[in-house]
Amino acid sequence: MDKDCNGGNAWHVGHIGGSKTPFPREDKPEVPVTLRGGIKGSFVDSDCGAHCDDASLDWTEGGYYYGVSLKAGDKKTLIRMANSSIQIRPEP
């Protein structure tokens, strides 16, 4: 966040993260999606009113929780973002 933003979300663009614990769930409808390598994820659309919040996509891989979000993002873009971060391991 830029020092001049003063904590507001006007300059916020999105988030990319991972965690050992699940992300908090939003009270919004989740749409199941399939990511690279058959990984199952959940997409949550953004809402726009006085400002737009983030659309988000979360998934679990290898016992870790991952998520991407984008202000006023769309499902196709978030799936592309998530897929670009998933490394497919070759079969042994």
Residue 70 tokens read as 């984008």
| Threshold 0.85, pTM exceeds | no
pLDDT at 20: 94
pLDDT at 86: 87
Instruction: Give the tens place of pLDDT for each residue, 12-30.
Output: 788 899 999 988 887 899 9
Distance CA 85, CA 24 (A): 21
pLDDT of residue 9 exceeding 60: no
pLDDT of residue 2 exceeding 70: no
- Burial of 72: CB neighbours in 10 Å, binned 0-12, 13-18, 19+: middle
pLDDT of residue 1 exceeding 60: no
Instruction: Give the tens place of pLDDT for each residue, 51-83.
Output: 788 999 999 998 999 999 998 899 999 999 999
